[in-house]
Structure 1
């Protein structure tokens, strides 16, 4: 079934055969993400792996992801981080001595800690980083009128959504630039190139240098 959300044609698969046809037979025709204005603001024109349209740029990013970041050897290299944080969680449960604990909150904290250590090499504690992530997720989930009806894009400015997105993108840029600078300036630290585990930023910076990629 074909419906239109504003000026955006949307195909609804209402049967198994239709879904199979979309995902397998015509997968390349339906693989690109929607062209959303807020996503463009938050993610550098929609050039990241998740929102980038299928093409040479997307294939290069996927290749980097598969070969450098999520290969079997790379995933195994982060095992120590996962085991350490899991032990910490078990320790918290043991110390509770049978009292009530918010297990959901502990699991969320466990996941966030592992992701931060794997990606950045350390945990960025405090409300600022958490709020940045929450703000990004909320804005992506917020309905953007301009994404579906371009001539009404002024509504997003009127509601403040576009301004929030620009402010959030700028703040996240400052955070990421700080993380990169921290890694570039790191000399003889616990995670120098010769150490057992490199975090994701280390890996990407090394890939950039080896392939003469200009940031």
Structure 2
């Protein structure tokens, strides 16, 4: 297989270079167009990719200081607009929301979301509107959120008990707060979404964090296919990104299938429906949301959103808040006083 790819590489590169030559001719004609946004000079073929370092947000910040809060770049063959101020972000996300709200098809997110069948990575259109309607009206409405209050209270109480036991430990073993925050976010998410605790999910703490980090790494990896549509797929196979994405996808897909099968094979029905129960009911009935077909892949794609965004985002937010509180003792004392005041009032 590798030999075939190497043989095809010169032909593919020739086609790509011919297209790039045509593009460069057109680019030179439009370079002096006053309507274009400011931006740094770019190289043929790779565009501005050489100016993006290992920390893209810092590289883009440095460029924005020179070229302004709204600038144009080109990543390979893809034109990109960078917005880096609150005022410009408001223009994009609020005032011109409809013109800017769609999502591009990317290799990593497309693979893990079953070809963009979820909500987070789905392009704006009929499918996205129906998925959003299902989430707002059925899965995450206020009544449903309130019904799971006991889950949040039980898991937070369990965390506090664990911290209390650790503080009374005579060995004075340091507490890894990051691990505890991941476990807390995972337990709440898994109980609400899948009806099972973190301990019964088949994922221990280390394996769970490893899986999350592998997925985030796969999503954030440089995919040549995203920037070089004609030859990028060859590069992705040579670098191993394609096999990495496939491996992560199959691992997650097996987990989703196991969760769904457990729900389908349950002999008793709990009074409290979890989110997977609701999605399976929507998938079975196919009546309320008839504009699009809600398939098994749609169910698994939304599980992916919950599993990844629900756990990772929540845990990282708490970890960063705690880190900032440790760095600012005055704010830490203020937060502690407010909590103690509220606890006294409730007692």
When the two structures are superposed, what TM-score results if normalisation uses the length of structure 1?
0.89
1:164 counterpart residue number:
244
1:121 counterpart residue number:
195
1:106 matched to 2:106? The reply is no
Report the Cα distance in structure 1 between the residues aligned to 2:276 and 2:189, rounded to whole angstroms: 12
How far off is 1:35 after superposition? 1.8
Report the Cα distance in structure 1 between the residues aligned to 2:210 and 2:163, rounded to whole angstroms: 27
SS of match in other structure, 2:83:
coil
1:12 matched to 2:82? The reply is yes
Pick aligned residue for 2:264 from 169, 184, 191:
184
User: Does the C-alpha gap of structure 1 residues 87 and 148 become closer, same or farther in structure 2, counting only changes over 3 Å?
Assistant: same
Residues 1-215 of structure 1 mapped to structure 2, 5 A cutoff:
1-96=71-166, 97=168, 99=172, 100-122=174-196, 123=198, 124=201, 125-126=203-204, 129-153=208-232, 154-188=234-268, 192-193=269-270, 195=271, 197-211=272-286, 213-215=294-296
User: Does the C-alpha gap of structure 1 residues 94 and 214 become closer, same or farther in structure 2, counting only changes over 3 Å?
Assistant: closer
When the two structures are superposed, what TM-score results if normalisation uses the length of structure 2?
0.57
Over the aligned positions, Cα root-mean-square deviation in angstroms equals: 1.9
Aligned positions, number:
210
How far off is 1:17 after superposition? 4.1
Question: Which range moves more in the overlay, 101-110 or 82-91?
Answer: 101-110
CA contact (8 A) 2:182 2:209 kept: no
Q: Which has the higher contact order (CA 8 A, sep 6+)?
A: 1
More helix by share: 2
